Amino acid sequence: ETGVTQSPTHLIKTRGQQVTLRCSSQSGHNTVSWYQQALGQGPQFIFQYYREEENGRGNFPPRFSGLQFPNYSSELNVNALELDDSALYLCASSSQYSTLYNEQFFGPGTRLTVL
């Protein structure tokens, strides 16, 4: 069973640029959630995708957008990068809608640095 994978592992961008982060969910999982973890902080929920539709969004501006594909992999896109976007971006997959109690399996994350 393949776990959650994310690419790239590290990324350096400059302010104003755009970035795309990718996530492959664990086999059999149809729900993907994205989290931003700033240095020294806990992860903050960005949004969740279930069967290719956005299913809930945290307190993030519209320049954070996402996609989920038919194979349940997902992308996180961030436009007009700001310095404060520097963080570890975590993807988590789970097997059901509205994961009140279904375990979310996390990938290793993508470390984004904005200069």
What are 13's two structure tokens?
């961008």
Q: Which 4-63 residues touch another protein, going by CB under 8 A?
A: 4, 33, 35, 40-45, 48, 56, 58
Please give the helix or strand (H or E) that residue 109 lies within, else none: none
Beta carbon nearer to another protein, 4 or 21 = 4
Beta carbon nearer to another protein, 19 or 92 = 92
What are 48's two structure tokens?
């969740």
What are 86's two structure tokens?
């520097």
* Bridge partners of residue 24, in order along the sequence: 5
Q: What minimum distance in Å lies between the beta carbon of 15 and another protein?
A: 25
Q: Note whether 95 binds another protein by CB under 8 A.
A: no
Beta carbon nearer to another protein, 41 or 79 = 41
Q: Note whether 101 binds another protein by CB under 8 A.
A: yes
| Exposure class string for 92-105: b at 16+ Cβ within 10 A, else e | bbbeeeebeeeebe
Q: Residues interacting with another protein, by CB under 8 A?
A: 4, 33, 35, 40-45, 48, 56, 58, 90, 92, 98-101, 103-104, 106-109
